[in-house]
Amino acid sequence: TTGVARGAAGYVPGIPRMGFPPLYLVDGSVGVGNATGESTALPSALASAATWDLELAYRYGVVLGKDMRAHGVNVHLGGNVNLVGREPRNGRAFETKGEDPILAGRINAAHLRGTQDQNVVACIKHFALNDQETDRTMASVIIDERAARETDLLAFEIGVKDAGVQSVMAGYNLVSGAWCSENDALLDGVLKQDWGFAGFVLSDWYGTHSCAPAAMAGLDMEMPGSAFFGGMRAAIESGLVPQARLDDMVHRIVRAVFAVGLYDHPTSPGTVDAEANLAVARAVAEQGTVLLRNEGQLPLSPGVRSIAVIGPHADVGVIAGGGSADVVPIGGSALVERSSVMGSIFPVRWLPSSPLAAIRAKAPGATVRFLDGASAAEAAALAAQSEVVIVFAAQWSVEALDRPDLGLVDLVHPASPLDQDALIRAVASANPRTIVVLEGPGAQAMPWLSSVGAVLAAWYPGQRGAEAIAGILFGDVNPSGKLPITFPRNSADLPRPTIGSGTTPFDVRYDEGLRTGYRWFDAQAIEPLFPFGFGLSYTTFTLSGATVSLASGDQLTVTVDLANTGARSGAEVVQVYLSMPASLGEPPRRLVGWKKVTLAAGAREKVTIVVDGNSSAHPLGYWDTATRSWSIAPGEYGVYVGNSSRSLSLAGTVRR
Ligand code: BGC
């Protein structure tokens, strides 16, 4: 049933005589949204992935679940784990957890567990391969089975198996010519039979195309309304759908409500736990912000005398992504603009976290002046008079629209666009002590990179973002986030430089197969702007003395000595990558494990990373198309350790 009950995007009436609760289905990926009211506006899900911190990701999920309960709603539609390496310009990149199946899968699983532990149903979406927003209901992905299993589907498999997520949303798109909501191979085959998924599958909004074919392919719930499933009685009476299949649908939904403890702990509207949740929002922004460039300019000294803060609305707030992931922040928005996208008007939300105020608070002795950057000439003049310049560049992004390219493109005021790339160029040529803070959905091209002193990728930093960014700029917090995606130099370096489109189903061929994300850049020997796993720090770390061993049961153990050789305390993410036996024809390397370790200046630690070859992530495995199962091949595996996908050394080889 369609409904706006409690502000939800979807509603299923309860059964009072059985004490069965109504279901209120609510987005979204970075907070609790739709029309529920104020909730914690978290940093983007991609920022959470950039922390590489599973415990903090769990707390991110807890905030989502707690806010769901506070609004009396109970099915959370977050859990977007489409792998953004397939289409980095995807307008929903900020909702995803990046391009690597294991990192994305595990960060997402931690979110889902945190949410379901609050006794609400979580959801993983959009199953599957829903990677472009351009004509998203017509794009038909063509990918070979092995590539799908080892990349995009693997991220879902981890969520289904490790988090026990109780609902799965089918994508809008088609896979091999069949819409996801009636794709028997995906829903019944991969999800329910192969993975043993016991929860329910719902359609994306108005993404159902039939009754009997969808029901028989494995769709359990149409959302919203009943344009197709309203015909279920007739489909059963005519024998197109057996009664047992309807019983199975009902069983799956009812079971999910019991499985997460929702039946025993029904939700009713209360109050958002603002203080605790905002602390998590801040921690994620601090841990997820990635320092990409630093020509000795950061951290800033508290003794700095004059600072120019430049950028749209940087006096009042930080920008957030739009669409179903839109969240009304606690305390209300700083500012709401409007953008017209695909014939609809979307709010462009600025969260109440002022970069200007946060910087003033850190440098009370400095003259801090602000310009919005509408005039590049005025901004350059102010930059020339200032000791330090901080440009807050904001790239808005929204569901239903892909970015035309990876540069800074104004999607909010297309009639009179602000050219932020030109603004940065002008400012940096007036003052090379320019720091660029990028607020955006994901990968960003930087044509001005060599002319600026420092760059921070702050993603969409959430409603404590400015405070977190200021803490990093002034060195209270050491930057320790690492990229969960590749930053390509430009769209020409992508597997599909042009995004396909069409008004009837059209094929999108994933000919790159297994080579998605950094695996593409590695396999094709293309130099990215910044590689997957990369991130600078204010301190320095060394890795030495690595050992590797493979024990029975396919347990790969890597030990390595990590030393903080710099003058500040900080965290490093020790990353383990594997090269597979040559006979398999895999891309050069895959991430199989990591550990984020915080060390005081001068401290060292022996770091042990155990990679369980039999886990749901199948880190040593390949998909055997002959047996249609995961397998671990005999042969030689190279084990690499380092702090980015392009800064690795061979720790050893193991034979199996
Ligand atoms: C989105 C889903 C979302 C749903 C409900 C759709 O447009 O693709 O991710 O959960 O709307 O708001």
Cα–Cα distance, 77 to 166 (Å, whole number): 11
Dihedral sign for Cα 327, 333, 335, 338, please.
positive
Query: Is pLDDT of 414 > 90?
Result: no
Interval 266-309: pLDDT, tens = 999 999 999 999 999 999 999 999 999 999 999 999 899 999 99
d(CA 43, CA 562): 29
The protein residue whose alpha carbon is closest to atom 3 in ligand 1 is 324
Atom of ligand 1 nearest to the CA of 77: 10
Q: Is the CB of 202 under 6 A from ligand 1?
A: no
In a 13 Å sphere around the CA of 395, the CA atoms on its Cβ side amount to 29
Which protein residue has the closest C-alpha to ligand 1 atom 11?
205
Q: H helices within 517-652, ranges in order? A: 518-523
DSSP per-residue codes, 541-563: EEEEEEEEEEETTTEEEEEEEEE
462 phi-psi bin (left φ>0, alpha ψ -120 to 50, beta other): left
pLDDT of residue 4: 59
E-strand ranges in 328-478 read: 335-341, 344-351, 367-371, 388-394, 434-439, 454-457
> Is residue 95 in contact with ligand 1, taking CB distance under 6 Å?
no
Probe ligand 1: pick from 126, 208, 324, max atoms within 8 Å of CB? 324
Q: How far is the CA of 9 from the centre of ligand 1 (A)?
A: 8
Beta bridge partners of 170: 127
How many whole angstroms from 168 Cα to the centroid of ligand 1?
12
Residues 575-626 have pLDDT tens digits of: 999 999 999 999 999 999 999 999 999 999 999 999 999 999 999 999 999 9
CA distances from 506 to 139, 141, 210, 306, 586 (A): 5, 8, 20, 55, 28
Q: Is the pTM of this model over 0.95?
A: yes
Would you state the pLDDT for residue 187? 98
- The tens digit of pLDDT for each residue in 61-117 reads 999 999 999 999 999 999 999 999 999 999 999 999 999 999 999 999 999 999 999
Mean pLDDT, rounded, for 178-201: 98
Atom 2, ligand 1: residue with shortest CA distance: 204
Q: 373 in helix, strand or coil?
A: coil
Q: What is the pLDDT of residue 1?
A: 37
- Site to probe by mutation for ligand 1, drawn from 205, 326, 341 as the one with most ligand atoms within 8 Å of Cβ, is 205
The Å distance, Cα 205 to ligand 1 centre, comes to: 6
Mutate to test the pocket of ligand 1, among 23, 27, 125, 221 (most ligand atoms within 8 A of CB): 27
Question: In the prediction, which pLDDT does 344 show?
Answer: 86
Q: Is 27 in the pocket of ligand 1 (CB under 6 A)?
A: yes
Any ligand 1 atom below 6 A from CB of 324: yes
Mean pLDDT of the chain: 97
Nearest-CA neighbor of 612 among 629, 632, 597, 596?
632
Look at the alpha carbons of 469, 114, 171, 84 in this order and tell me if their dihedral is positive or negative.
positive
Ligand 1 in contact with 150 (CB < 6 A)?
no
Q: State the pLDDT at residue 415.
A: 87
- List CB contacts of 325: < 8 A, sequence separation 6 or more: 27, 28, 29, 30, 31, 33, 80, 92, 94, 95, 399
**Is 204 annotated in the active site?**
yes
Q: Phi and psi (nearest 5°) for 558?
A: -120, 130
Say which residue the tokens 């946060």 belong to.
358
From the number of C-beta atoms within 10 Å of its C-beta (0-12, 13-18, 19+), residue 504 rates as exposed
Closest ligand 1 atom number to CA of residue 29:
9
Closest CA to 191 of 258, 126, 235, 264: 126
As beta bridge partners, residue 24 has: 11
b/e string for 118-134 if b means 16 or more Cβ within 10 A?
bbbbbbbbbbbbbbbbb
Identified catalytic residue from 67, 204, 402, 493 = 204
Mean pLDDT of 124-130: 98
- Pocket lining: 9 vs ligand 1, CB cutoff 6 Å: yes
Q: How confident is the model at residue 2 (pLDDT cuts 50, 70, 90)?
A: very low
Distance 169 CA to ligand 1 centre (A): 9
Give the pairing type, strands 10-12 and 23-26. antiparallel
Spacing, Cα 143 to ligand 1 middle (Å): 24
User: Quick check: CB of 77 below 6 Å from ligand 1?
Assistant: yes
Which pLDDT does position 3 carry in this prediction? 44
Assign 141 a pLDDT band (cuts: 50, 70, 90): very high
Distance from residue 88's CA to the centre of ligand 1 (Å): 19
Distance CA(471)–CA(65), nearest Å, equals 28
Taking the C-alpha atoms of residue 335 and residue 10, their distance in angstroms, rounded to an integer, is: 27
Atom number of ligand 1 nearest to Cα 126: 9
Confidence of residue 341 (pLDDT cuts 50, 70, 90): confident
- The closest of 232, 220, 362 to 304, measured between CA atoms, is 362
Q: Is 170 in the pocket of ligand 1 (CB under 6 A)?
A: no
* 545 φ/ψ sector (left φ>0, alpha ψ -120 to 50, else beta): left
Does residue 213 surpass a pLDDT of 50?
yes
Question: Whose alpha carbon is nearest atom 8 of ligand 1?
Answer: 204
Q: Where are the beta strands (DSSP E) in 495-540?
A: 506-509
Percentage, residues of the chain above pLDDT 90? 98
Residue with CA nearest ligand 1 atom 4: 205
Report the nearest atom of ligand 1 relative to the CA of 95.
9
Atom of ligand 1 nearest to the CA of 25: 5
